Amino acid sequence: MATAVKARLSAWVGGLAADVVVVVVLLAALGAGVAYAAFFATTSNAGNTFTANPDVVAPTLTRSTAAETAAGAMAQHVHPGSAYQLYGQPADTGAPASGVATVTADASSLTSGQTSAAMPSGAFSFAGTSYSHRTNTLTANATLAACSYTPTITATDVAGNAGTSQASKVMVDRDLANYHVRIDGVATTDKSGISVANAGDVNGDGRPDALLSASAADNNGRGNSGSVYVVFGQAATATVDLAALGTQGYRIDGAAAGDNAGAAVAGAGDVDGDGRPDLLVTAYHSGNNGRAQSGSSYLFASPSCS
Ligand SMILES: [Ca+2]
Ligand SMILES: [Ca+2]
Ligand SMILES: [Ca+2]
Ligand SMILES: [Ca+2]
């Protein structure tokens, strides 16, 4: 009897769906009048799946910089026309964060056409700071004004959330090859430009004029007497050769050999009240009063003519 019941029970259990994982059979009694109680349970719930919470939060930028690729480059500075790269360190958040997938930069303010410059991932470092992403080499516009510019960096996470952040400001530097006016000395070892100053509007044309000196000039046969120049300001870009000054300004010469007039110069303002700014000039090796190299300083009244 018990064998037959067990056989029937085994067949019944074997016929259950495959998802039956727990079967508890209690045999209350065996033999005649045997009662059976059977229990089973399942943990399967076919058709449903478990998933993590979605990441709905876009990455943000934690730090960034820009730097030229040439040796000696300075963080956050580029020159017009220079080769440079943008660096970025985005961080993703979410619950959980899916991670940063792609990063691009809009550097169009520095380089025309670069509205979506790829920033591949890697281990990058500049000036002792590490970054996870960097553009390939870009070329700054050759006509950038010496102002500040702010690129943007967009980071997209694996879940597709894109966040755009302002990158660090980038300053545009200049070099003296971009001069407005260059003023060149007359002779070897003249030391032209050893002192410079704003002279004010000496010739009354509405533009400030330049005051500069060549303290070792040898004009008038007086070796190292020194000379001082007023060069009139002008709107146009130009190169001025003091050896051919013409009507672009005038010259003030040291009084005696060895005076080194113009070792320092300064605008004095309108001291004599004629409406024209006046000039201060030192000749620190002059020997007035029979006192060698006692030095003298001169207030030089600007002429009332142009
Ligand atoms: Ca995220
Ligand atoms: Ca002027
Ligand atoms: Ca000289
Ligand atoms: Ca004056």
For 110-152, write each residue's pLDDT tens digit.
999 999 999 999 999 999 999 999 999 999 999 999 899 999 9
> Do residues 235 and 265 share a domain?
yes
**Residue 27 three-state SS:** strand
Question: Is residue 48, in this structure, part of any structural domain at all?
Answer: no
Let me know whether 241 and 268 are in one domain: yes
Q: Are residues 94 and 135 in the same domain?
A: yes
Domain boundaries, position 68:
60-172
Q: How far apart are CA 19 and CA 99, in angstroms?
A: 37
Q: Is the pLDDT of residue 9 over 90?
A: no
Number of domains in the chain: 3
User: Could you tell me if 288 and 206 lie in one domain?
Assistant: yes
- What residue type is 37 in one-letter code? A
Based on the fold, state whether residues 110 and 184 are members of the same structural domain: no
Cα 279 to ligand 2 centre (Å):
14
Least confident of 16-20, 61-65, 161-165: 16-20
Residue 140 maps to a domain: yes
pLDDT of residue 178: 82
Q: Are 159 and 98 in contact (CB under 8 A)?
A: yes
Q: 16 in a domain, yes or no?
A: yes
Q: Which ranges of the chain would DSSP assign to H, the alpha helix?
A: 2-14
- Report the CATH number at residue 124: 2.60.40
DSSP label of 31: S
Do residues 230 and 211 touch, judged by C-beta distance below 8 A?
A: yes
Last residue of a domain, one of 146, 172, 198: 172
* 51 in a structural domain: no
Please count the other Cβ atoms lying within 10 Å of the Cβ belonging to residue 78.
26
Q: How far is the CA of 208 from the centre of ligand 4 (A)?
A: 14
17 and 79 belong to one structural domain: no
Other beta carbons within 10 angstroms of residue 208's beta carbon come to: 15
CA of 210, nearest ligand number: 2
Same-domain status, 162 and 213: no
Q: Could you tell me the sign of the dihedral formed by the alpha carbons of 301, 271, 184, 258, in that order? A: positive
User: For the whole model, what pTM was predicted?
Assistant: 0.68
Query: Is the residue at 305 inside a domain?
Result: no
State what percent of residues in the chain have pLDDT above 70: 83
Q: Which residues surround ligand 4, an ion (CB under 5 A)?
A: 270, 272, 274, 276, 278
Q: What does the mean pLDDT of the chain come to?
A: 88
Same domain, 145 and 188: no
Torsion of CA 196, 200, 203, 205, to 10 degrees: 120
Q: Is residue 168 part of a domain?
A: yes
> Are 152 and 242 found together in one domain?
no
First to last CA, the chain: 136
CB atoms within 10 A of CB 150: 12
Ligand sitting nearest the alpha carbon of 232: 2
**Residue length of the chain:** 306
Q: Is residue 124 within 8 Å of residue 18, measured between CB atoms?
A: no
User: 259-292, pLDDT tens digit by residue?
Assistant: 999 999 999 999 999 999 999 999 999 999 999 9
- pLDDT range class, residue 305, cuts 50, 70, 90: low
CB contact set of 105 (below 8 Å; sequence gap of 6+): 86, 88, 114, 116, 117, 119, 135, 151, 152, 153, 154, 167
Check residue 306 and give its pLDDT.
60
C-alpha span between 68 and 140 (Å, rounded): 9
55 in a structural domain: no
Helix, strand, coil distribution of the chain in percent, nearest 5: 10, 40, 50
Burial 102-111 (b: 16+ CB within 10 A, else e): bbbbbbbbbb
Distance CA 25, CA 184 (A): 109
Alpha carbon distance 127, 117 (integer Å)? 22
Residue 123 and residue 69 share a domain: yes
Query: Ligand 3: distance of its center to the CA of 176 in Å?
Result: 26
User: Residue 38 has what pLDDT?
Assistant: 60
| pLDDT 10s digits, 21-39 | 333 333 444 455 555 556 5
Q: Are residues 193 and 152 in the same domain?
A: no
Q: Give the pLDDT band of residue 228 (cuts 50, 70, 90).
A: very high
CA of 15 to the centre of ligand 2 (A): 109
pLDDT of residue 47: 74
d(CA 257, ligand 3 centre) in Å? 9
Does residue 164 share a domain with residue 108? yes
What spacing in Å lies between the alpha carbon of 160 and ligand 1's midpoint?
8
Say whether 178 sits in a helix, a strand or coil.
helix
pLDDT for 302 equals 85
Residue 54 lies in a domain: no
